[in-house]
């Protein structure tokens, strides 16, 4: 079976403390380390191997502001789940910085922020 020309996405994530962030992404999101370029970067993947996160040790990490819009979007990436309520409870119990669950015209979601302020939506 041949792969289509495009089959996945890699997300570069600026982090101030590579060790702390690697532990956070492993514990909170269950990502698996697939490559280490310490002390500069760690590449991790989600369970389907089509999405990877490259944590890049960065200086003066500043978060981009998502432009004002009428669609209600405030972050650049969503992470999909089959159980918004269960994932929210699980992350909250682990001490993650999560927002309240909101309804968005037929689906639900909440915000999730990593230790450096990188923000994701978690939706179903």
The dihedral through the CA atoms of 79, 82, 86, 90 has a sign that is negative
Measured between alpha carbons, how far is residue 53 from residues 50, 77, 90, 103 in Å?
10, 12, 21, 27
Q: Is this model's pTM higher than 0.75 or not?
A: yes
Measured between alpha carbons, how far is residue 23 from residues 3, 33, 37, 99, 105 in Å?
32, 10, 16, 21, 34
What is the separation, in whole angstroms, between the first and last Cα of the chain?
Answer: 30
Bond preceding residue 39 cis, omega within 30 of 0: yes
pLDDT (tens, 9 = 90+) of the chain, 124 residues, equals 676 788 889 999 999 999 999 999 999 999 999 999 999 999 999 987 789 999 999 999 999 999 999 988 899 999 999 999 999 999 999 999 999 999 988 889 999 999 999 999 999 9
91 touches 101 (CB < 8 A)? no
Q: How far apart (Å, rounded) are the C-alpha atoms in residues 72 and 68?
A: 9
Q: Which backbone phi and psi does 25 adopt, to 5 degrees?
A: -65, -30
């Amino acid at each position: 079976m041949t792969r289509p020309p495009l089959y996945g996405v890699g997300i570069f994530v600026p982090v101030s403390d590579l060790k702390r962030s690697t532990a956070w992404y492993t514990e909170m999101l269950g990502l698996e380390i697939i490559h280490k370029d310490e002390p500069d970067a760690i590449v991790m993947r989600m369970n389907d191997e089509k999405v990877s996160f490259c944590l890049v040790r960065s200086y003066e990490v500043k978060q981009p502001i998502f432009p004002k819009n009428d669609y209600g979007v405030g972050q650049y990436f969503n992470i999909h789940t089959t159980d918004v309520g269960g994932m929210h409870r699980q992350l909250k119990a682990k001490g993650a910085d999560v927002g309240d669950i909101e309804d968005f015209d037929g689906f639900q979601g909440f915000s999730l922020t990593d230790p450096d302020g990188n923000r994701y939506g978690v939706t179903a």
